[in-house]
Amino acid sequence: MNKKERHVKIKEMIKTGRIGTQEEIKDRLEEIGVYVTQATLSRDLREIGLMKLRAEDGKLYYSLTESDSTHFSANVSEYIIKVSRAEFMLVLTTRLGEADVLANVIDGEKRQEILGTVAGADTLLVICQSAAIAKELEKEIQSEI
């Protein structure tokens, strides 16, 4: 099975059920006769643009990215407790252990105006192209939380 076909199979799995770990994806692929290394699977998931969401019971699961070039996905606000701005940067506060999950969601949206993110345990730094963009994004996030 080539990479494109494997990506299709992974997307189908993600759409049809809540899968929380790469190991679960790897096991399901093996059930259908597809064997990949952990490194290959990690690369596949990154290329597909998967993000992790939090279920009602608090467990994380993979979801396909819902990219929108003008607004953050609704999923972003689920993680943010507080937003602050310093010039062209946003500092987002999350619950402990969720900053890296939020970074993956934001990075997965591939917004041109965001240069990158840096995550700690409960704090995420979002580096924007300009102070004006940071101010606009701050307003957008404030209206969602």
Q: What is the CATH number of the domain that holds 132?
A: 3.30.1360.40
Work out how many domains the chain is built from and give that number: 2
Domain termination residue (choose one: 64, 95, 117): 64
The pLDDT score that the predictor gives to residue 69 is 45
Q: Let me know: does 140 contact 71? Beta carbons within 8 Å.
A: yes
Q: Is residue 138 assigned to a domain?
A: yes
Residue-range definition of the domain harbouring residue 86:
75-144
Same domain, 47 and 83: no
Same domain, residue pair 79 and 38: no
Residue 70 lies in a domain: no
Task: Say yes or no: 110 and 87 in one domain.
Answer: yes
Does the residue 31 lie in any domain? yes
Residues 82 and 128 in one domain: yes
Checking if the pLDDT of 11 tops 60, the result is yes
Q: What CATH number is associated with residue 55?
A: 1.10.10.10
* The last residue of a domain, from among 11, 39, 64: 64
Rounded alpha-carbon distances, angstroms, from residue 140 to 94, 95, 123, 137, 143: 17, 20, 18, 5, 5
Other residues' Cβ atoms within 10 Å of the Cβ of residue 124:
24
Indicate if 8 and 57 belong to the same structural domain.
yes
| Helix, strand, coil percentages, rounded to 5, for the chain | 45, 25, 30
Residue 69 lies inside a defined structural domain of this protein: no
- CA 70-122-11 angle, 5° bins: 50
Contacts of 22 (CB under 8 A, 6+ apart): 38, 41, 42, 45
Q: What is the pLDDT of residues 38-95, one digit of tens each?
A: 999 988 888 887 777 777 788 888 887 654 444 566 667 778 999 999 999 999 999 9
The model's pLDDT over 96-125, given as tens digits with 9 standing for 90+, comes to 988 988 888 888 788 889 999 999 999 999
87: left (phi over 0), alpha (psi -120 to 50) or beta: left
- In a 3-state reduction of DSSP, which class is residue 63? strand
User: At 144, is the pLDDT very low, low, confident or very high (cuts 50, 70, 90)?
Assistant: confident
